[in-house]
């Protein structure tokens, strides 16, 4: 496995691989890798000749300076996990490599309002930063396939829209959420939970499952309110529970009127903001 820090070196390598007819898979990450990332990486390696993982804590997608500062950085451990997963190249660039002076990387994109809902209400500018970095990384790596996780439901939906809007010749592959035995969705942020909060954070998945089980029993507004109440345990603060059309991310009014329905939530567990979702219907 090669660890490459410079854009020019990575591009030279990729040009060589493409000339030799190799297919390229790419998984962008911000490091602090867990089993969810490793599952993505393994699927990518299985489905492509060459698997590339980027590790870059992208400053432009953080709307709180403290979140950026506290984001775990564990490159040595990450590299060991990716080596085991048989990843071929780890791309770990500096800010200057990703955003060199003089290169315009901001985008004007029609995201059809996908970025305004749910996370967009609470994390201003977040998705502009995500699109900016993913576009830049796709420009650098020019992969055949891009691998992202379902846990960030809104994120992959937006990236899918960006790929379509900019006609980027890359296929998006979305991998299932990987959960702890307790049901808690794996996340780099879980490492910042206290032991007690980690135990009780299982309330999030339990509540999402409760919604699935009771989706035809209550009205949608009752379901959402009851879910918010269930997750309002001491030390926890749910920000939203949204039951949305999986394509448009618009709140739905009637379960029966849609083929693809997802429930998404964001919950503060102490100082740590967790997101999760499950598909109610597809
Ligand atoms: O999901 C993440 O870790 C990040 O948002 C991503 C896609 C790597 C962009 O920085």
In a domain, 14, yes or no: yes
Whether residue 209 sits in one domain with residue 167: no
Whether residue 201 sits in one domain with residue 124: no
Instruction: Compute the distance from residue 127 Cα to the ligand 1 centre, in Å.
Output: 10
pLDDT tens digits for range 76-92: 999 999 999 999 999 99
Q: Which of residues 144, 175, 206 is at a domain's end?
A: 175
Whether residue 215 sits in one domain with residue 148: no
| Cβ–Cβ < 8 Å for 255, 261 | yes
As a whole number of angstroms, the distance between CA 178 and CA 38 comes to 10
Q: Name 172's bridge partners.
A: 146
As a whole number of angstroms, the distance between CA 94 and CA 96 comes to 5
Whether residue 152 sits in one domain with residue 94: yes
Whether residue 162 sits in one domain with residue 243: no
Q: Is 182 helix (H, G, I), strand (E, B) or coil?
A: coil
In a domain, 237, yes or no: yes
pLDDT tens digits for range 103-128: 999 999 989 999 999 999 999 999 99
Catalytic residue among 34, 37, 88, 197: 37
Whether residue 200 sits in one domain with residue 152: no
Whether residue 207 sits in one domain with residue 131: no
37 catalytic per annotation? yes
Instruction: Compute the distance from residue 257 Cα to the ligand 1 centre, in Å.
Output: 32
In a domain, 240, yes or no: yes
Q: Which domain holds residue 148?
A: 2-175
In a domain, 160, yes or no: yes
pTM for this prediction: 0.97
Tell me the pLDDT band of 8, cut-offs 50, 70 and 90. very high
CATH number of the domain residue 202 falls in: 3.30.1300.10
| Cβ–Cβ < 8 Å for 178, 152 | no
Whether residue 166 sits in one domain with residue 200: no
Q: Is 130 in the pocket of ligand 1 (CB under 6 A)?
A: yes
> What average pLDDT does range 171-199 have in this prediction?
97
Q: What is the pLDDT of residue 55?
A: 98
In a domain, 182, yes or no: no
Does pLDDT of 261 surpass 90?
yes
| Cβ–Cβ < 8 Å for 279, 192 | no
Whether residue 171 sits in one domain with residue 262: no
CATH number of the domain residue 167 falls in: 3.40.50.620
Q: Which of residues 175, 207, 240 is at a domain's end?
A: 175
> What average pLDDT does range 215-237 have in this prediction?
97
Whether residue 135 sits in one domain with residue 22: yes
> What average pLDDT does range 238-253 have in this prediction?
98
Q: What is the pLDDT of residue 187?
A: 96
| Cβ–Cβ < 8 Å for 30, 118 | no
As a whole number of angstroms, the distance between CA 148 and CA 261 comes to 19
> What average pLDDT does range 222-236 have in this prediction?
98
pLDDT above 70 covers a percentage of the chain that reads 100
Instruction: Compute the distance from residue 93 Cα to the ligand 1 centre, in Å.
Output: 14
Q: Is 39 in the pocket of ligand 1 (CB under 6 A)?
A: no
Whether residue 264 sits in one domain with residue 242: yes
Tell me the pLDDT band of 70, cut-offs 50, 70 and 90. confident
Q: What is the pLDDT of residue 5?
A: 98
Q: Is 134 in the pocket of ligand 1 (CB under 6 A)?
A: yes
Return the best residue to mutate from 61, 123, 129, 156 for the ligand 1 pocket (most ligand atoms within 8 A of CB).
61
Q: Which of residues 124, 153, 175 is at a domain's end?
A: 175
Q: Is 133 in the pocket of ligand 1 (CB under 6 A)?
A: yes
Q: What is the pLDDT of residue 67?
A: 87
Pick the residue whose CA is nearest to atom 9 on ligand 1.
130
In a domain, 181, yes or no: no
Per-chain mean pLDDT for the chain: 97
Count: domains in the chain: 2
Whether residue 147 sits in one domain with residue 245: no
In a domain, 183, yes or no: no
In a domain, 79, yes or no: yes
> What average pLDDT does range 213-236 have in this prediction?
97
CA atoms within 13 A on the CB side of 264: 22
């Amino acid at each position: 496995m090669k660890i490459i820090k410079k854009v020019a070196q990575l591009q030279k390598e990729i040009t060589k691989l493409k000339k030799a007819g190799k297919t390229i898979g790419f998984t962008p990450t911000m490091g602090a890798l867990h089993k969810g990332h490793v599952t993505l990486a393994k699927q990518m390696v299985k489905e492509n000749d060459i698997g590339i993982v980027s590790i870059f804590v992208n400053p432009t997608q953080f709307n709180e300076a403290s979140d950026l500062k506290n984001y775990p950085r564990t490159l040595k451990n990450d590299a060991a996990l990716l080596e085991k997963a048989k990843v071929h190249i780890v791309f770990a660039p500096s800010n200057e490599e990703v955003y060199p002076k003089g290169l315009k990387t901001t985008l004007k994109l029609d995201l059809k309002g996908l970025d305004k809902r749910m996370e967009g209400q609470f994390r201003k500018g977040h998705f502009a930063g995500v699109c900016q970095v993913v576009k830049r990384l796709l420009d650098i790596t020019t992969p055949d396939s891009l691998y992202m996780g379902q846990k960030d439901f809104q994120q992959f939906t937006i990236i899918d829209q960006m790929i379509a809007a900019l006609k980027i010749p890359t296929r998006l592959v979305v991998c299932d959420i990987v959960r702890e035995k307790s049901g808690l969705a794996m996340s780099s942020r879980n490492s910042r939970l206290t032991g007690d909060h980690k135990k009780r954070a299982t309330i999030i998945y339990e509540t999402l499952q409760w919604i699935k089980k009771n989706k035809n029993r209550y009205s949608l507004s009752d379901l959402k309110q009851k879910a918010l109440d269930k997750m309002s345990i001491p030390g926890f603060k749910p920000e939203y529970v949204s039951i949305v059309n999986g394509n448009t991310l618009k709140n739905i009014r009637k379960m029966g009127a849609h083929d693809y329905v997802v429930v998404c939530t964001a919950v503060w567990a102490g100082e740590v903001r967790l997101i999760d979702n499950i598909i109610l219907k597809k």
